[in-house]
Chains A and B, each alone.
Chain A
Amino acid sequence: MRAHRGIALATTGLAAALALTGCATDPAAEEGTLTVYIGRDEALVGPLIERFEEESGIDVEARYAATPELAALLLEEGDRTPAQVFLSQDAGALGALADAGLEATIPAELADLIPDGFTSQDDSWIGVTGRARVIAYDGEQLAEADVPDTVDALTGEEWKGEVAFAPGNASFQAFVTALRVLEGEDAAAEWVAGMAANDPELTENNLATLDLVNNGQVQLGLINHYYWYRQAAEVGADNMRAQLKFLPGDPGGIVNVTGAAILKNAADDPEARAFVEFLVSEEAQRYFVEETFEYPLLPGIDAPEGLPALESLVNPGLDLSDLESVGESQRLLADNGLI
């Protein structure tokens, strides 16, 4: 009896759904547990969370999704969110939540650990790691010397159809903002128009951009440095066709930060504070250096081997607050048909 089977299946499904619901509880209400929304890969961050649980005795309910989805989720949830801490892949998402008044102030003794320029100015969130913007180039077709030292050169005829980037990506847009601040609105507008006219390959994200370079589809890609290291760890560095060129001093080589925020409803929560404290501890900072090849932001911890020093990439003319005018950068990209 097929139909009986169907009804039995349906009933089982409903019963199971109810059973699953029974297991779920409101984590925010419990002592010794912490709900964290994590906009980064579980494979990379998961082991670090486990270390925190072991050392602190706090149970972490980790909710993984991409940073944009979690930012949208947190904005929709507002002050009803079950989350106490948000660990974000980029500063833009943290800034959007701060604008919506959803973040609590980071305690000063933690906020002061991270140097100015790598964390929020009003302590609404705290910087955790840094990623440099770089040019990924096709190592089979180009030598490092062939690759421009500045993004200004990318509007040239020789790179027509050969540059990939993700115009909708927050870190790319931060770079466009840096370009506007450092070289002026006119020069930035000229660059964006020049790129739009130079037949670029538009991608959805940094990873797709890197894949295009790695497959020889394009010669150059504008990405964050650590995507290359992640992929190299997966397939072996010797098998990487793409190579990286850092751009010290150029707007195209700025450092973006990842960060964490304590959400408003957890302002006085000791577990939330303990977690943020752990993220900027020596142990966690070393973990990011060794496992994800990111720049540590806590002074005194060395950058991953083979990377230029963080200080060499920092542009003295650029303040993190300058990057808040990302809306104007988006308008510029939109007017040129890139987003």
Chain B
Amino acid sequence: MTAQVATSSPRRPWGLIAASLVAVALAAIPVVHLVVRVASADPAELAAVFERPRIPMLVGNSVMLAASVTATAIALGVPSAFLLARTRLRWRGFWAVLAALPLAMPSYLAAYGWLAWQPSMKGFWAAWLVLSFVSVPYVTLPVAAALRIGGTGLDDVARTLGRGPLGSFMLGTWPQIRPAVLAGGLLVALYTLSDFGGVALFRFPVLTTAIQQAYSASFSRDEAAVLAVLLVSLALLIVVGEQFARGRAARRIQAAPSAGRRRMTPLGRWAVPAMTLLVLVPVIAVVVPVAVLVSRVLTAETLRAFDPANLASAIGNTVLLSAGGAVVAVALALPIGVLAARHRGRLVRAVESTGYLALGLPGIVVGLSLVFFSLSVVPALYQTALVLAFGYGVLFMPKAIGSIRAATGQVPTSLEDVSRTLGNSRARTWMTVTARLARPGIFAAAMLAAVSAMKELPATLMLRPTGTDTLAVELWQRTDVSAYGAAAPYAVALLLVAAVPAFLLSDARAGREATREAIAPDTQAGREANREVIA
């Protein structure tokens, strides 16, 4: 139970540890709620759930989908990031925004659009296609940022010693981006495990669809909780695995100092395949499904009355609620991210991994746990915007942790030491030095939480104030009556609104790169910054 201080701080940062524990306790509400429910359930009933012949198949499907989607997102995201950060690409800004765009696309909307066009799509391959392409930015964005900081000096040395282009990349650059790849892959894997909308539309049975069935047919929350505990166990394995792999990667980075020089590769005859890759991802994730839905508006037999005032209020609610959710997510993630960036030890690892777990749970499970929590603790706030924003914070805090950890890690501890020597308190130093320099990263964390909150549906249905509709809720109400035509305006509005934080994320990357280079061209802190960017 000790947090060993790795860097400059001479004492244990009790304040920071306390704040992290509070944050992690709030983030653990869904998991605790599940465990309590399972512990108090009838053991015979629980055993019956495990004895079902279908359970091994469901677990297998969940694992297979998470693994294949993560592998595909990495396989497409790393080359995309390389093109954006290391090649002489024309219209770089345009491509950067395009690469971030799939972040704005909810999986259920992408699946819905594809199905409207190709009704025969179903099962593993359909779910794999849509989830993979929608998830690629989770890898592209942090890896591109890591590539922008790192150098190619070591690659060049390898080249002069006779290695081929790929071999020298693996030797020089790969160790620098590996932590970012792992962090992005972690988010993709957890996102895939917890996704319900996309897999359900393609009729691919996994644990989340079984959880939904437990609620919908047997109205058995115990049965749902057992399945959710199974899901959380898988998430825990993935989180711990990523931490283990990251720990090894960190040691390797220190063994291989990154050289400051960065060579930009001319594309030459690779220009066309490169642009094909950069176009392919947003086309499959966004353009095809949206185009199909919009074309349905034009061909619909009868158009249900479209109410612009209704759309406007849904947009307003979506923006306000997701902004509130982003504030909460960042507030919860800050102590955890700072702790993870500056300190090591078993406690730090435990805090960080617990922070990630909620991301592996479907929204309906998290929503119900927060229903219970808010009714028990703050009944006066139940079904208010505050509780919903808090719910978004708990759900999407994991997406903010990595970005904050990386941004804090990039601030040289020597600057903090100077501030402390000048007599500033630890808190004041953090506010005036660390937070100021890490601000772009904190902003990116907020944007990532906001874009996720805008797309969220199941927890929103549980927690929203009665009568308050978000774009996702309006969209759900229209897809439920098989009305492709009526859904389209809301689908387009959701995409446009969510594209704003996605756009800022692609932009924020470039801004952060400038900050980082200004303060830490080739310091220990600069290498620390390689560890993770958005995750």
Contact = CB atoms under 8 A, between A and B. Distances in A.
B327 A14 contact: yes
Contacts of B215: 68-69, 71-72
A84 B304 CA distance: 31
A210 to B, nearest CB: 8
A108 interface: no
A123 B461 CA distance: 29
B458 interface: yes
Nearest to A43: B481
A143 interface: no
B203 A204 contact: yes
A14 B477 contact: no
Classify the interface of chain A: helix, strand, loop or mixed: helix
Contacts of A181: none
Contacts of A285: none
A44 B481 contact: yes
A287 interface: no
A16 B320 contact: yes
A35 interface: yes
Given A170-B217, A211-B119, A215-B119, A76 B368 contact: yes
B326 A334 contact: no
A171 B292 CA distance: 32
Contact of A68 (B219, B300, B323): B219
A34 B417 CA distance: 61
Classify the interface of chain B: helix, strand, loop or mixed: helix
A61 B119 CA distance: 37
B482 interface: yes
Contacts of A43: 304, 477-478, 481, 483, 486
Contacts of A235: 300-302
Interface stretch (A2-10, A144-152, A254-262): A2-10
B321 interface: yes
A327 to B, nearest CB: 7
Contacts of B467: 61-63
B205 interface: yes
Contact of B481 (A230, A239, A339): A230
How many B residues touch the partner, as a band?
A: 35 or more
A330 B210 CA distance: 13
Interface string A53-92: 0000000011111111101110111001010000000001
B508 interface: yes
Interface of A: 2-3, 6, 9-10, 12-14, 16-18, 20-21, 24, 26-27, 35, 41-44, 61-69, 71-73, 75-77, 80, 82, 92-93, 96, 168-170, 173, 201-204, 207-208, 210-212, 215, 217, 230-231, 233-236, 239, 326-327, 330-331, 334-339
The 9 A-B residue pairs with the shortest CB-CB distance, nearest first, are A13-B323, A68-B216, A168-B213, A17-B324, A20-B385, A3-B439, A96-B219, A6-B443, A215-B119
Given A13-B326, A35-B466, A235-B300, 16 more contacts: A17-B324, A27-B466, A72-B224, A73-B368, A73-B462, A75-B219, A93-B219, A169-B217, A170-B217, A173-B217, A208-B203, A211-B482, A217-B120, A234-B482, A336-B53, A339-B52
Interface of B: 48, 52-54, 57, 119-120, 200-201, 203, 205, 209-210, 212-213, 215-219, 221, 224, 300-302, 304, 320-324, 326-327, 330, 364, 368, 371-372, 375, 379-386, 389, 436, 439-440, 442-443, 446, 458, 461-462, 465-468, 477-478, 480-483, 485-486, 508, 511
